[in-house]
C-alpha cells in the first residue's frame, strides 16, 4: 500500500487491491456464540468455522491469493520427477535469495525437522532470538536445548523500540565463548512469531551473522515471517530507507547459510522448504527429503501450491503488497490504544495482540486470563483469536502450573483477507468488552491433555460470568447481532 494522503487528514490504510472472489460469512447471535464457546470447551481451536465471523486465529495457510497466483495453478506441471514447476520455483528463489539449491518440504516444520535431524544431537545448544513452538519441539526431541537471546525490550509488552526482535549480541558472544563447541548453528527468526511479530533490523541480522561466522558456525534464518520484516526494515531503518525490498532481501540472504520458511505465510500459499547457497550443505540434508517429504522436485507439496508460491514470492518483493498486513495491524493497534485498550506495542507483523494481564488484572494467572479473554472476545463479537499465555505452556514435571511470562490474546491478520470495516468492527466490540471487563471471569480445565493442551484441552468458566456478559450485550445492543 502506498502512502495515500486523505484530504480529511484521517489516517486510513487503503487497500490497493480489489476483491474478486468472496466467501460469505455468518455472524450468529450472541446467545449462539455463548453456546458455541461452551461446546468448544472455551478453547478457540475447537470452534467450528460456521460459528465464526472474523477468524483471527492465525495467518497460516489462510492468506488470500492473487489472480496471478490462481492463474498460475492452472499451468502447474504435475510430474513426479523433474517438474517444470519445480524449476520455476527454484529459479524464483535464485532470483530473490541468490541461492542455487532448494529442498522442498510439505510445510515449515518439516524443514525444521530436516535441519534438526542433520545438525542437532544430544546436548546441542541452539541459540535464537526467540523460539517458535515447532522449532523448539524438533530441537528438544533430539536432546538439544534452545537459548533465547532476544534483546531485553523483546519481552517487554509496551515499548517504542522499532526492532524488538533483535539479537542481543553480547549475550550471543558470551554463549559462543563459553559453550561454542555445543552450538552447531545459530537461528534468526525474522520476524518473530510468539513475541508479537516483532522484527529485527538489517544491521542486527548482518552483525549477528558476522559474529556467528567468526566462530565458524552456521547461520540459519527462519524466513516464515520475512515479508513483514522486510516492510519494517524499509520503513523503520534509516540506513535501509533507500534500498528496494529486493536489495534488502539479497543483503539478508547473502549472510545466511540456510534459509528456511513456511510458505503458508511467506509466499501466500502452502508448503515450505530450505534454500541454500552451498552444495555440500545441500547434499548433507538432501536424502531426508525423499525419506520424509516426497521426491526432490515436490517434497510433499502439490505442484499447484508450488506454482502459486513462486508467484507469491515475486509479489512479496512488491511494497504495495507487503504493506497491507502491517498497515492494517498498525491501524487496529493504534485505534485500540486511542480507546485505552491495553495492547502490545509497537505494532508488529502477524497480528494485533491484546494484553490480558492489563485487560483483566482481576483474573489470576492460575485461571488463564488470556484464554478467558479469548472466550470473551468470541462471545462479544464472533471473533476468534489465539491464546498465547499459560494454557499454551506445559506443566512442570511435578505437575505444578508453569505460569507464562506474558498473557496475550493474538488477533492475527491474514494477509489481504479482511476489509477495513471488519477491522473497525473488531475494534468496536473489543472496546465494548473492555468497558465491561469487570464481568469477565476465569476458566479451569475440565479435560487437560498432558501435551499440546492448548490444541485439545477443554475448560469451563469458574462462575456464571459468560451469562452475565451475554445479558450485558443484549442490554447495550438490543436486537443487533
Ligand X SMILES: *Cc1c(COP(=O)(O)O)cnc(C)c1O
> Is the preceding omega at residue 346 within 30 degrees of 0, hence cis?
yes
Angle between helix axes 245-254 and 202-214 (nearest 10 degrees) is 20
Examine residue 342 and tell whether it contacts ligand X (CB under 6 A): no
Q: How far apart are CA 199 and CA 292, in angstroms?
A: 31
Asked if 224 is part of the footprint of ligand X (rule: CB under 6 A), the reply reads: yes
Smaller CB separation from ligand X, 127 or 441: 127
Taking the complex as a whole, the smallest distance from the CB of residue 355 to ligand X amounts, in Å, to 21
The least distance separating ligand X from the CB of residue 14, rounded to whole angstroms, comes to: 27
The helix/strand/coil state of 256 is: coil
Pick between residue 106 and residue 217 the one whose CB is nearest to ligand X: 106
Euclidean distance between CA atoms 220 and 256, whole angstroms: 6
For the CB of residue 139, give the shortest distance to ligand X in the complex, in Å: 12
* Identified binder of ligand X from the candidate list 225, 322, 370, 386, rule CB under 6 A: 225
**7 is a catalytic site residue:** no
Q: For residues 85 and 262, which CB has a smaller minimum distance to ligand X in the complex? A: 262
Compute the least distance from the CB of residue 192 to ligand X, in Å.
7
63 binds ligand X (CB under 6 A): no
Count the residues of the shown chain that bind ligand X, applying the rule CB under 6 A.
Answer: 16
Site string for ligand X, 104-143 (x = CB under 6 A): ---xxx----------------------x-xx--------
CA–CA separation, 144 and 276 (whole Å): 23
The phi-psi region of residue 399 (left if phi > 0; otherwise alpha if psi is between -120 and 50; otherwise beta) is left
**Is position 132 annotated as part of the catalytic site?**
yes
Neighbouring CB atoms inside 10 A of 300's CB total 17
C-alpha 414/C-alpha 339 separation (Å) is 23
Q: 33 to 62, contacts with ligand X by CB under 6 A?
A: 60
**At its nearest, how many Å lie between ligand X and the CB of residue 132?**
4
Q: Does 265 participate in catalysis according to the annotation?
A: yes
CA atoms within 13 A on the CB side of 224: 29
Helix, strand or coil for residue 222?
Answer: strand
Strand pairing class (101-105; 272-276): antiparallel
Let me know if 454 is a catalytic residue: yes
Show the cell assigned to 424.
Answer: 473497525
The piece of 140-148, 218-226, 338-346, 464-472 that touches ligand X (CB under 6 A) is 218-226
Antiparallel, parallel or unpaired: β 185-189 and 218-222: parallel
The one catalytic residue in 26, 78, 133, 424 is 133
Name the catalytic one among 92, 388, 410, 416. 388
Could you tell me the smallest distance in angstroms from the CB atom of residue 410 to ligand X? 12
46: helix, strand or coil: helix
Tell me which residues touch ligand X (CB under 6 A): 60, 107-109, 132, 134-135, 189, 193, 222, 224-225, 262, 264-265, 272
Q: What is the set of active-site residues?
A: 80, 132-133, 222, 265, 388, 454
Amino acid at each position: 500500500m502506498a502512502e495515500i494522503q486523505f484530504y480529511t487528514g484521517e489516517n486510513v490504510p487503503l487497500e490497493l487491491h480489489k476483491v474478486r472472489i468472496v466467501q460469505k460469512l455468518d455472524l450468529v447471535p450472541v446467545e449462539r456464540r455463548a453456546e458455541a464457546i461452551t461446546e468448544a470447551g472455551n478453547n478457540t481451536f475447537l470452534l467450528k468455522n460456521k460459528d465464526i465471523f472474523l477468524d483471527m486465529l492465525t495467518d497460516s495457510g489462510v492468506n488470500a491469493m492473487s489472480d496471478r497466483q490462481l492463474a498460475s495453478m492452472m499451468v502447474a506441471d504435475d510430474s513426479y520427477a523433474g517438474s517444470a514447476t519445480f524449476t520455476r520455483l527454484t529459479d524464483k528463489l535464485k532470483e530473490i535469495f541468490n541461492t542455487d539449491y532448494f529442498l522442498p518440504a510439505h510445510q515449515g516444520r518439516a524443514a525444521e525437522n530436516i535441519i534438526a535431524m542433520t545438525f542437532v544431537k544430544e546436548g546441542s545448544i541452539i541459540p535464537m532470538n526467540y523460539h517458535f513452538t515447532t522449532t523448539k519441539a524438533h530441537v528438544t526431541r533430539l536432546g538439544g536445548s534452545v537459548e533465547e537471546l532476544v534483546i531485553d525490550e523483546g519481552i517487554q509488552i509496551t515499548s517504542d523500540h522499532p526492532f524488538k526482535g533483535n539479537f542481543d549480541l553480547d549475550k550471543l558472544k558470551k554463549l559462543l565463548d563459553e559453550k561454542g563447541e555445543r552450538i552447531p548453528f545459530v537461528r534468526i527468526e525474522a520476524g518473530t512469531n510468539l513475541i508479537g511479530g516483532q522484527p529485527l533490523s538489517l544491521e542486527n541480522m548482518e552483525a549477528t551473522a558476522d559474529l556467528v561466522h567468526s566462530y565458524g558456525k552456521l547461520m540459519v534464518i527462519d524466513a516464515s515471517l520475512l515479508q513483514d520484516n522486510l516492510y519494517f526494515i524499509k520503513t523503520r531503518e534509516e540506513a535501509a530507507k533507500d534500498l528496494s525490498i529486493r536489495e534488502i532481501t539479497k543483503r539478508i540472504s547473502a549472510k545466511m547459510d540456510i534459509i528456511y520458511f513456511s510458505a503458508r505465510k511467506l509466499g501466500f500459499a502452502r508448503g515450505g522448504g530450505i534454500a541454500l547457497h552451498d552444495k555440500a550443505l545441500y547434499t548433507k540434508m538432501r536424502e531426508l527429503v525423499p525419506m520424509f517429504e516426497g521426491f526432490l522436485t515436490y517434497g510433499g507439496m502439490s505442484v499447484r501450491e508450488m506454482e502459486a508460491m513462486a508467484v507469491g514470492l515475486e509479489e512479496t518483493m512488491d511494497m504495495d503488497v507487503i504493506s497491507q498486513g502491517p498497515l492494517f495491524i498498525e491501524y487496529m493497534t493504534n485505534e485500540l490504544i486511542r480507546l485505552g485498550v491495553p495492547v502490545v506495542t509497537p505494532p508488529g507483523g502477524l497480528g494485533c495482540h491484546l494484553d490480558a494481564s492489563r485487560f483483566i488484572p482481576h483474573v489470576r494467572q492460575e485461571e488463564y486470563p488470556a484464554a478467558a479473554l479469548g472466550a470473551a472476545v468470541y462471545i462479544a463479537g464472533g471473533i476468534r483469536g489465539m491464546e498465547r499465555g499459560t494454557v499454551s505452556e506445559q506443566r512442570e514435571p511435578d505437575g505444578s502450573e508453569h505460569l507464562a511470562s506474558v498473557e496475550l490474546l493474538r488477533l492475527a491478520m491474514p494477509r489481504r483477507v479482511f476489509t477495513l470495516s471488519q477491522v473497525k468492527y473488531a475494534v468496536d466490540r473489543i472496546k465494548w468488552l473492555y468497558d465491561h471487563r469487570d464481568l469477565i471471569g476465569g476458566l479451569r480445565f475440565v479435560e487437560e491433555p498432558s501435551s499440546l493442551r492448548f490444541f485439545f484441552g477443554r475448560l469451563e468458566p469458574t462462575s456464571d460470568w459468560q451469562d452475565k456478559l451475554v445479558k450485558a450485550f443484549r442490554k447495550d445492543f438490543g436486537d443487533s447481532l
